[in-house]
Structure 1
Amino acid sequence: MKYLTLASISLFLIIGCSSTPLPDRASARLQETANPTFPSDAARNGIEGFVQMSFDLSTDGEPTNIKVVKSVPKLIFDKAAIRALSKWRYAPKIVNGKAVMQKGLTVQLDFKLS
């Protein structure tokens, strides 16, 4: 009887823990963003600009390998843009029920004074 109870509990746990595959998603979907902090020197001097970045997206939906492709003016907003993008979260691309890494995604963050 003791073994039958143990086998029943084990079977229940195995069945209860089985995962169902996720529905396919053709591309990642942005879920959470973080606004960049406008550099105080740029704000004080009335400087506006943008930063274009490329990045990969992990299976967990986290941006990785962030690189600045272009920034205007150069180097003024780069750190703030990278810091902000690193906090973004995505629902990753799903293929055959599994999250997959995506490479070579791009984004542009604009820095405008209001």
Structure 2
Amino acid sequence: MNKDLIIGIVVSLGIHATFLGAFNRKTPPPAKAAQTEEAVVQFEMPPLEEEETEQVEELSEEVVENIMAPPSLVDLPSVVPVNAFTQPIAPPPPPGFTASKGAITIPVTKPGANFGKGISNLFNIGDLDQQPVARVRQAPTYPYDMRRAGINGTVVVEFIINTEGDVIQTQVVRSSHREFEMPALQAVQKWKFKPGRKGGRVVNVRASQLLEFNATE
């Protein structure tokens, strides 16, 4: 056998053996990653307090009696004695008694009896050469109850105008309702005039005025 042929066969077998060994070599498995264990810390919870249960009191079915009784009117006719409408006469003041300056005196004479007494140079309005001229005339206040009831009325007031043009005295001559008298007097007392004249000089004048109360106005 040829020597060169033998060498070629040996070399060929070596090469094949090398390739086969390389393919059959197993790849080593990868190293396992180190598993890290996580430490879990458990906290100890405080003990829970027991909830107190509220006790609900049951409503009593007892009926409470009303001690305070409502007032009641007795349907019995009241007897009014006759002397209840009489007023005893006040005794006269003792001798030497003088009333204070601030005291209010109520006249006991009839209206018009002494009206204008003690005023000198007093004339009726019809006797003047020049009659008074009104400067301020305030309307009377209508009584509330009379207006609400729709009641109309009239009042005739007599008054005296002095030399300054002021109203110094007033009185009611006649009226349809007494409720209108006081408002009429209070209004006339606030009136102002240009004084009347007699013989070229100012004088005191006695005059009268009709005041009407109309609920629709």
Q: Determine the structure 2 residue equivalent to 1:88.
A: 191
Greater strand share, 1 or 2?
1
Structure 1 residue 61: Cα displacement: 0.8
Which entry has the higher C-alpha Rg, 1 or 2?
A: 2
Q: Bigger relative contact order, structure 1 or 2, given CA contacts below 8 A and separation 6+?
A: 1
Q: Determine the structure 2 residue equivalent to 1:35.
A: 139
Once residues 152 and 168 of structure 2 are traced to their aligned partners in structure 1, the CA distance between those partners, rounded to angstroms, is 26
Unaligned 5+ segments in structure 2 are 1-128
One-letter amino acid of the counterpart of residue 86, structure 1: Q
Q: Determine the structure 1 residue equivalent to 2:47.
A: none
Q: Determine the structure 2 residue equivalent to 1:7.
A: none
Q: Once superposed, which parts of structure 1, at least 4 consecutive aligned residues long, lie more than 6 Å away?
A: none
For the aligned residue pairs, the C-alpha RMSD in angstroms reads 1.6
Q: Determine the structure 2 residue equivalent to 1:79.
A: 182
Q: Give the % identical residues.
A: 28
Once residues 174 and 215 of structure 2 are traced to their aligned partners in structure 1, the CA distance between those partners, rounded to angstroms, is 20
Q: Determine the structure 2 residue equivalent to 1:101.
A: 204
- How does the TM-score come out when normalised to structure 2? 0.39
* Residue-by-residue CA offset, 1:10-59 (whole Å, 9 max, x unaligned): xxxxxxxxxxxxxxx61111111101110001111111101001111111
Secondary structure of 1:34's aligned partner: coil
- How does the TM-score come out when normalised to structure 1? 0.71
Structure 1 residue 64: Cα displacement: 2.1
Q: Determine the structure 2 residue equivalent to 1:58.
A: 162
Once residues 96 and 55 of structure 1 are traced to their aligned partners in structure 2, the CA distance between those partners, rounded to angstroms, is 22
Once residues 62 and 49 of structure 1 are traced to their aligned partners in structure 2, the CA distance between those partners, rounded to angstroms, is 26
